[in-house]
Structure 1
Amino acid sequence: MITRIVKLTIQTDRVADFVALFTTYQSDIARFPGCQRVELLADVEERNVFVTLSEWESAEALNAYRKSELFGKVWPATKLLFAAKPEARSFERKIN
């Protein structure tokens, strides 16, 4: 199981656009083969900072998504809203 965490800093005046974009594609991403869940977390102090958290069956499933037509629609649209470079990390659960 791979947990992917991506920190996104969004232009302050584009936060509503970002949330709408995530809402539009969340269920499509969640249904992608190998995806167990995907959610959006908002920073409690910096209202334009978000984290996407997704869980994948394997690194191969995550990479298949990153090479997919769906990602090819979602990521370019999201990049237009950035105020800073995103930070992404993948983790494996070690202790439950």
Structure 2
Amino acid sequence: MFIRIVKMSFHEEKIPLFLENFHSVKNDIRNFPGNNFLELYQDKSNPSIFFTYSIWNEEEDLEKYRNSELFKEVWAFTKAFFNDKPQAWSVDKLVTLD
């Protein structure tokens, strides 16, 4: 398993449209084969910045999602609202503390 973190920065007036769309597709993304977890975060100091945090079985599962019609539709809609280039990281979890 590995984690994918994506940072997105939006034009302030477009945030409600982004959130409305995210809520309409979040279950489809979460239920995509190979996805085990999905959360959306909003930066406390800059409310125009959001992060998705997702856990995938394999990198090929993420690639299948990124090549899917679902992703293409979601990304085409979402990227129109960006005010900065998105950033993404694929990371491995090293330590978990309970």
Instruction: Check whether TM > 0.5.
Output: yes
Q: What does residue range 29-68 of structure 1 map to in structure 2 within 5 Å?
A: 29-68=29-68
Deviations 1:8-59 (A, max 9, x none): 0000111111111111110000000000011110001111100011110010
Tell me which residue corresponds to 1:11.
Answer: 11
What is the rounded CA distance, in whole Å, between the counterparts of 1:34 and 1:3 in structure 2?
12
TM-score normalized by the length of structure 1 = 0.96
Aligned length: 96
How large is the Cα RMSD of the aligned pairs?
A: 0.7
Unpaired runs of 5+ residues, structure 2, are none
1:24 aligns with 2:24: yes
CA distance in 2, matches of 1:2, 1:76: 25
- AA partner of residue 68 (structure 1): S
User: How many percent identity over aligned positions?
Assistant: 38
Give the Å deviation of 1:86: 0.2
TM-score when scaled to structure 2? 0.94
Q: Give 5+ residue unaligned stretches, structure 1.
A: none
In structure 1, the residue matched to 2:93 is 93
1:75 aligned partner: 75
DSSP-derived class of the 1:77 partner = helix
